[in-house]
Amino acid sequence: MEKKRKRKSPEANCSNLPLLRVKREEQIFTRSLCFNVPINPSPFFTLFFLPVHRSHRLPTMSVSAVGSFWLSPSPGKLPRPRMVVRSNAVSTPMAADMRAGLAVDGGSDLKMILSYVDTFPTGNEKGLFYALDLGGTNFRVLRVQLGGKDERVIATEFEQVTIPQELMFGTSEELFDFIACGLANFAKKEGGKFHLPSGRKREIGFTFSFPVKQTSIDSGILMKWTKGFAVSGTAGRDVVACLNEAMERQGLDMQVSALVNDTVGTLAGARYWDDDVMVAVILGTGTNACYVERTDVIPKLQGQMSSSGRTIISTEWGAFSNGLPLTEFDRDMDAASINPGEQIFEKTISGMYLGEIVRRVLLKMAEAGALFGKYVPEKLSTPFILRTPDLCAMQQDNSDHLDAVGAILYDVTGVKSDLSVRKMVVEVCDTIVKRGGRLAGAGIVGILQKMEEDSKGLIFGKRTVVAMDGGLYENYPQYRRYLKEAVTELLGLEMSKNVVIEHSKDGSGIGAALLAASNSKY
Ligand code: ADP
Ligand code: MG
């Protein structure tokens, strides 16, 4: 495959950049993450987010809104569910939190983890490499045969399995044995175009998509489980050591050469083809973002510079919370979660939670008599019974009677619905998905803005690519659209022309294998 040609941006070396910057800030001030969706005039249900703090220098990601929900029984009428926004504005500067996290460990909700990835794959990598990817829902194994500058990626093969529910709550040994076993089975099937040079072990890029305090390119301590995992005995341990022990138990002689998270893998994988990739974002079960940072603006490095002067920082933005526009549904879901008070951004924008937020809204509406009259389906009280892919399927239903919506609603509630109820449900889905997509877009703008502030022209003066991956982003067209719309609105039309938001399919797996290659022990 040929390496993508870099496009020269019309704004490269743009001399009037300061002017553009001022314009952009005005745009951010005047644009808002505002939407107001009357789901049904009666019962009236509105969810919206108001404009940003005007006084703050870093308005990106600033949204304000506090939703409150109440039932207002009018005499002789059904109670009406409402979500009302109070105007107590809250400023949420993602960029400021990024700086605080770069200053000192624990300086902000954003951990701003050093990846120890200071150089990118060059294209010269050759040989057979494996990648292992433990996400929140799926476990993937992949092998790739790299052929250097001319041949690039000669062949890839991968397998994917869903992580059994019980392993999410089991012991560390059980989980890592499952991973090592999957890897061993996959490695046994190696053949065809895949060849290991003699005298070498098979090397692995291990993608582990949970917050890890990286201690070197091939070691890192699990800080905490997220995305519904509560595995005992792993937090505080080196996850590579856990994997090595499990591989030993399986009699598998392979070696981890790079430990990365999925965002870092995605960035490395996308950058292999395109030098303009600066940021990578995962929107799957959970969410995270990473970006290329200058080492001289990372105070917590205490002067330790990489030879390239750059490094990839994993923001761990799922933990962002400062001033997010939370509703009663978000708060209740958080309180009932296994990690209350944590991962608040993740809980408003990622695939694990969107379906559950909608379920909670629908339950409240049903209790208010706004869905099925006086009947409140018991099934609708089951947490996580409505999944994000269900929302997506309902939003793709273009049939006259919304038959697919009816079928999913029947599955989830056991009730046959009429067209007006189906329409209302689709609007609830749209409202929650719109909020998620737009907040994710605002987060991206926060990162771009932080980078631009430190290096004028780095981002907005030329073409910049944001590599996206994850099941939510990949499969949910409305979510994608809302995300992109928010980025365009926040940056303004002109500026946003330089920012390319691109799906990087399976970039993470190949990226991890490429990082294993560029950090090879041989
Ligand atoms: P992981 O997060 O385990 O690495 P993925 O990136 O494949 O895995 O993301 C899986 C998540 O993506 C699911 O948990 C779900 O929330 C979301 N998802 C998968 N398919 C769809 C779909 N069709 N519509 C919307 N969301 C989806
Ligand atoms: Mg993943």
The predicted structure's pLDDT at residue 197: 87
For residue 322, what are its two tokens? 């400062």
Residue 420 has pLDDT above 70, yes or no: yes
| Separation of CA 286 from chain center | 5
CA distance 165 to 17: 52
Cα of 391 vs centre of ligand 2, distance in Å, is 20
* DSSP secondary structure letters along 5-49: PPPPPTTTT-TTHHHHHHHHHHHHHH--------S-SSS------
| Positive or negative torsion for Cα 431, 437, 442, 446 | positive
Is the Cβ atom of 389 under 6 angstroms away from ligand 1? yes
N-term to C-term CA, the chain? 26
**Residue minimizing CA distance to atom 19 of ligand 1:** 471
Catalytic residue among 227, 347, 434, 462: 227
Atom index in ligand 1 nearest the CA of residue 354 equals: 16
Is the Cβ atom of 352 under 6 angstroms away from ligand 1? yes
Query: What does the angle CA 396 – CA 42 – CA 476 come to, to the nearest 5 degrees?
Result: 20
The predicted structure's pLDDT at residue 325: 77
For residue 9, what are its two tokens? 């941006």
Cα of 126 vs centre of ligand 1, distance in Å, is 32
Query: What does the angle CA 167 – CA 173 – CA 174 come to, to the nearest 5 degrees?
Result: 30
Q: What is the mean pLDDT of the chain?
A: 83
CA torsion 81-85-91-92 (nearest 10°) is: 20
The predicted structure's pLDDT at residue 42: 28
Residue 184 has pLDDT above 80, yes or no: yes
Q: How confident is the model at residue 460 (pLDDT cuts 50, 70, 90)?
A: confident
Catalytic residue among 109, 133, 218, 262: 262
Is the Cβ atom of 470 under 6 angstroms away from ligand 1? yes
User: Is 262 considered catalytic here?
Assistant: yes
Q: How confident is the model at residue 65 (pLDDT cuts 50, 70, 90)?
A: very low
CA distance 254 to 92: 45
Residue 46 has pLDDT above 60, yes or no: no
Is the Cβ atom of 472 under 6 angstroms away from ligand 1? yes
Interval 1-26: pLDDT, tens: 333 433 333 332 222 222 222 222 22
Mean pLDDT along residues 127-144: 94
Peptide bond into 43 cis (omega under 30): yes
Higher-confidence residue of 246 and 5: namely 246
pTM: 0.84
Interval 362-400: pLDDT, tens: 999 999 998 999 999 999 999 999 999 999 999 999 999
Mean pLDDT along residues 441-453: 91
Cα of 136 vs centre of ligand 1, distance in Å, is 9
Backbone angles phi and psi of 75, in degrees to 5:
-55, 130
Residue 231 has pLDDT above 50, yes or no: yes
Interval 314-361: pLDDT, tens: 999 999 998 787 899 999 999 999 999 999 999 999 999 999 999 999
Nearest to 476 by CA among 509, 433, 445, 442: 433
Is the Cβ atom of 285 under 6 angstroms away from ligand 1? yes
Atom index in ligand 1 nearest the CA of residue 352 equals: 16
Interval 463-512: pLDDT, tens: 999 999 999 999 999 999 999 998 898 888 998 999 999 999 777 889 99
Residue 86 has pLDDT above 70, yes or no: no
Atom index in ligand 1 nearest the CA of residue 209 equals: 4
User: Is 497 considered catalytic here?
Assistant: no
The predicted structure's pLDDT at residue 324: 83
CA distance 45 to 68: 11
**Are the C-beta atoms of 60 and 446 separated by less than 8 Å?**
yes
* Range in 70-84, 223-237, 396-410, 499-513 the model is least confident about: 70-84
The predicted structure's pLDDT at residue 326: 86
Which of 350, 472, 478, 506 to mutate for ligand 1's pocket (most ligand atoms within 8 Å of CB)? 472
Atom index in ligand 1 nearest the CA of residue 139 equals: 3
Q: What is the CA radius of gyration of the chain?
A: 24
Mean pLDDT along residues 281-285: 97
For residue 424, what are its two tokens? 């209302």
Is the Cβ atom of 388 under 6 angstroms away from ligand 1? yes
Is the Cβ atom of 85 under 6 angstroms away from ligand 1? no
The predicted structure's pLDDT at residue 392: 98
